[in-house]
Structure 1
Amino acid sequence: MNDFVQWAIETVQSVDPVLRTVLAGVAIMLETSILIGLVVPGDTVVLVAAIGVTSWAEGIALGLAVVVGALIGESLGFWLGRWAGPHIRSSWLGRRIGEQHWERSERYLRRRGGIAIFLSRFLPVLHSLVPLTVGMSGYAYRRFIAWTLPACVVWTTIYVGLAAGAAGSYHQLSQRVHYAGYFFVGAIAVLLIAVLIVKKLIARREERHMQDEPNREA
């Protein structure tokens, strides 16, 4: 296992750091922009890129690229929602997503306001629909950025920090422990599972709130 993990890390590190950073930024931009986030695994690209980090400078550069990429992607979704939201919603792709998801996004934003924008970065489906919905709602762009910027920073810190930390710890551990590769794989698996669980818990909590809203209005 150690040989395989070492090969995987070295393969990622063999890619030019600038190219790695740019690819991660572009991937997360696509992941957070208009509906592309439903098919582009930007978070996976960021994790792989973070594994190749070998210095604080590379880690900071990667983090900045991911934050900027996410902000560009979400801004693109916002302005497309402002300019062409209804047309996108009624398009073939918009219908494929399902009207229930669009309505859920609208209710979520209406009920939670800025908090919905922050939390949507961590929620499946909604992280692609909320920027569009915010743009269609007439919400001010500066307020949108004020809520989504800290969410992007938190998300990036978690993904880049933990993946890069796991790779760095592996290098130190592999010199002393024969089974270090299993610890590394286990750490990445725990990270992915923890992120999934947190997303599920947030999604279920927000779903309960949205289901309770009609009862309170009645």
Structure 2
Amino acid sequence: MGLTDVDLNAWITSFLDVVQSVEPWLRTLIAGVAIMLETSVLLGLLVPGDTVVIVAATGIEDAGQWAALVAACIAGALLGESFGFAIGRWLGPRIDGWLGRRWPRAADRWARIERYLQRRGGPAIFLSRFLPVAHSLVPLVVGASGMRYRRFIAWTVPACVLWALAYGSVGWLAAGSFRELSESLHGAGYLFVAIIAAFLAVVWLGKRWLVRREARHMD
């Protein structure tokens, strides 16, 4: 049997009820910590921070909770990237040498990011927040490069703000639209799915375009 409109609406309602049953402060904290881990050294390969934020955002009930979630994501991202910068400043050359001996492919990625930073400068720091893998490695390489933290943070703050606003808003928009229409529109569940899917598709296409555009600066 296929999934009917009523079944989909009921499933999404149950899902949103579960998310909203978590205390707002706890949802916000979990999202902030997830982003901090995602932007920390190499943990970005393991922690799906973007997914955690979207799920947490579906539980938002008012503008105050939205603002708190966005602020937590910005703070978490800046903490994670600052941690990566500090590790790079203290241990960067050692890490580079260790990668060269034990993990040549990672060492090659490190070298490519170094070239990228040398050619693009500050804009590379901003754009890296939206590039797969690079967003967790760039702070490390920047720290090892000797760039001042003030310059690094000046470029990464606007990127973190833009990212947090986008991901923190889409979940709230999708859930809010669904709850408003679910009683009167049988296909409200499809609207919820469409909003999330459209956002993820735009993000995926944007990342692919950005990777191709910036690849020439890494070679």
TM-score of the two chains, using structure 2 as the length reference: 0.92
Deviation at 1:19, TM superposition (A): 0.5
For 1:65-214, what aligned pairs fall within 5 Å after superposition? 65-91=72-98, 95=103, 98-211=106-219
Q: 1:210 to 1:97 in 2, by over 3 A?
A: closer
Ranges in structure 2 where 5+ consecutive residues have no aligned partner:
1-7
Deviations, residues 66-88 of structure 1 (Å, cap 9, x unaligned): 00000000000000000011223
Letter in 1 for 2:52: V
Which of the residues 36, 45, 49 maps onto 2:52? 45
Aligned-residue Cα RMSD (Å) equals: 1.5
Query: 1:17 and 2:36 equivalent?
Result: no
CA distance in structure 2 between the aligned counterparts of 1:91 and 1:171, rounded to whole angstroms: 52
Amino-acid identity (%): 55
Letter in 2 for 1:57: G
CA distance in structure 2 between the aligned counterparts of 1:181 and 1:150, rounded to whole angstroms: 34
Partner of 1:29: 36
The DSSP-based 3-state class of the residue aligned with 1:175 is: coil
Indicate the larger mover: 87-96 or 47-56.
87-96
Ranges in structure 1 where 5+ consecutive residues have no aligned partner:
212-218
Conserved? CA contact 2:74–2:161, under 8 Å: yes
Letter in 2 for 1:121: R
Deviations, residues 85-108 of structure 1 (Å, cap 9, x unaligned): 122334469727622211111011
TM-score of the two chains, using structure 1 as the length reference: 0.93
Paired residues in the alignment total: 211
